[in-house]
Amino acid sequence: MRTITVLGSTGSVGTQTLDLLAATPERYAVHALVANRNAERLAAQARAARAARAVVADETAWPVLRDALAGTGIEAAAGPQAVIEAASMGADWTMAAITGAVGLAATLAAIRGGRAIAFANKEALVCAGDLMLAAVRQSGATLLPVDSEHNAIFQAMADGNRGAVERITLTASGGPFRTLSLEEMARARPEAALRHPVWSMGAKISIDSATMMNKGLEIIEAARLFALPSEAIAVLVHPQSVIHGMVHYRDGSVLAQLGSPDMRIPIAHALAWPERVATQSPRLDLAQLGGLTFEPPDETRFPALRLARAALEAGGGAPCVLNAANEVAVAAFLERRIGFLDIAATVDHVLQETAVPPVTTVEAVLALDAESRAATARICAARAAA
Ligand SMILES: NC(=O)c1ccc[n+]([C@@H]2O[C@H](COP(=O)([O-])OP(=O)(O)OC[C@H]3O[C@@H](n4cnc5c(N)ncnc54)[C@H](OP(=O)(O)O)[C@@H]3O)[C@@H](O)[C@H]2O)c1
């Protein structure tokens, strides 16, 4: 029996992870489930999964969690320290699926716990890649990529010699605004941006898909996970989202991973690795699909891609600034305080006005993250007032 912890269990990835675990409950013992403030959903999940512990980061959600778990024997806890403790418990397998840089401390604690980490929290790796990879080396933890593109690359690389890799390609659906003009995007409202044509995901990553900042963050994530330079990571728009990633080898061979666009497939791969488990996910029917199409990304309409690549190439704290600015700008757009095109423009503005220092400690990352958030909030307020 394997012990499991799910960080971000009430979210899109967390919920799908628990669905997969529920198919063979006799194989897993759930150590801890962690959320931010959705105490009712967390309590229901903890009961269903017979978790030992349920934790909310937001202490104001504690009374609801405590009451909902009264008499069950499930330990209820609250606050950032309780989140770290739950993450550090040393489960055999931890799903790191908190959204945003706020997940950094918990994800690092899970890595230091030293077992297998199924890794979805891309913002943490973008902000503090070197620190996280150093922690992985130190603890001997195994990092299993969950993002469908990185999971695809992980699968396609398993068959080859890493030294023979020429480059990789991350595919992108192009998001809900793939065919819109800049004028149409300027008028876009949150509800349209949240309506992803292929994937069903949490709000923040859905907006990132619409701006294509998601793919930008994924370029940085891939550079970290697979130790590749920016120029060895290509992006290809592929609206059907059937091919998730490709590895190009120096002999001209290209290995791709295909599958229906369903996050339960990469999650199941990370859960069972190095074996495979059965899933109920829709099977791929290429004859019914008829064709797969590809197009180059348009960095004029989607400048976030260019900004992310520039931040990766600048190195140091630049990816941390990019990520923090993007998180704040996305929240401002969701609250209707700025327009859709203002998201990338704001990130660009913050990157240009920040003197980016090298960041070699977690404290330095957190300080730069906080400083960048404050700068972004000021710029968003000015844009909202204009
Ligand atoms: N969704 C996808 O298909 C997908 C695909 C690839 C990668 N990812 C990545 O996976 C991560 C999760 O995405 P998602 O779409 O599942 O997000 P989501 O639906 O928004 O869920 C986020 C989860 O994080 C929890 N959370 C937020 N702040 C927290 C805090 N301070 N402490 C503890 N927990 C906190 C939330 O709890 P509450 O419910 O209480 O707020 C929720 O459980 C992101 O980094 C995303 O980029 C997602």
Q: Is the pLDDT of residue 114 over 80?
A: no
**Mutation choice for ligand 1 from 12, 60, 196, CB with most ligand atoms inside 8 A:** 12
Ligand 1 geometric centre to CA of 209 (Å): 15
Q: Does the beta carbon of 34 lie inside 6 Å of ligand 1?
A: yes
Mind listing the domains of the chain with CATH numbers?
Answer: 2-145 (3.40.50.720), 162-260+269-307 (no CATH), 315-386 (1.10.1740.10)
The model's pTM: 0.97
pLDDT of 44? 98
- Kindly state if the Cβ of 97 falls inside 6 Å of ligand 1: yes
For atom 44 of ligand 1, the residue with the nearest CA is: 99
Could you write out the three-class secondary structure of the chain?
CEEEEEECCCCHHHHHHHHHHHHCHHHEEEEEEEECCCHHHHHHHHHHHCCCEEEECCHHHHHHHHHHHCCCCCEEEECHHHHHHHHCCCCCEEEECCCCHHHHHHHHHHHHHCCEEEECCHHHHHHHHHHHHHHHHHHCCEEEECCHHHHHHHHHHCCCCHHHEEEEEEEECCCCCCCCCHHHHHCCCHHHHCCCCCCCCCHHHHHHHHHCHHHHHHHHHHHHHHCCCHHHEEEEECCCCCEEEEEEECCCCEEEEECCCCCHHHHHHHHHCCCCCCCCCCCCCHHHHCCCCCECCCCCCCHHHHHHHHHHHHCCCHHHHHHHHHHHHHHHHHCCCCCHHHHHHHHHHHHHHCCCCCCCCHHHHHHHHHHHHHHHHHHHHHHHHC
- Residue 352 Cα to ligand 1 middle (Å): 29
Distance 116 CA to ligand 1 centre (A): 19
What pLDDT is stored for residue 159 in this prediction? 65
Q: What is the pLDDT of residues 153-190, one digit of tens each?
A: 999 997 668 899 999 999 999 999 999 999 999 999 99
Closest ligand 1 atom to 8 CA: 43
Instruction: Output the residue whose Cα is nearest ligand 1's atom 28.
Output: 36
Task: Provide mean pLDDT across the span 356-367.
Answer: 93
The verdict on the CB of residue 12 being under 6 Å from ligand 1 is yes
Distance 50 CA to ligand 1 centre (A): 21
Per-residue model confidence as pLDDT tens digits over 229-246: 999 999 999 999 999 999
At residue 386, the pLDDT reads 84
pLDDT digits (tens, 9 = 90+) for 274-331: 999 999 999 999 999 999 999 999 999 999 999 999 999 999 999 999 999 999 999 9
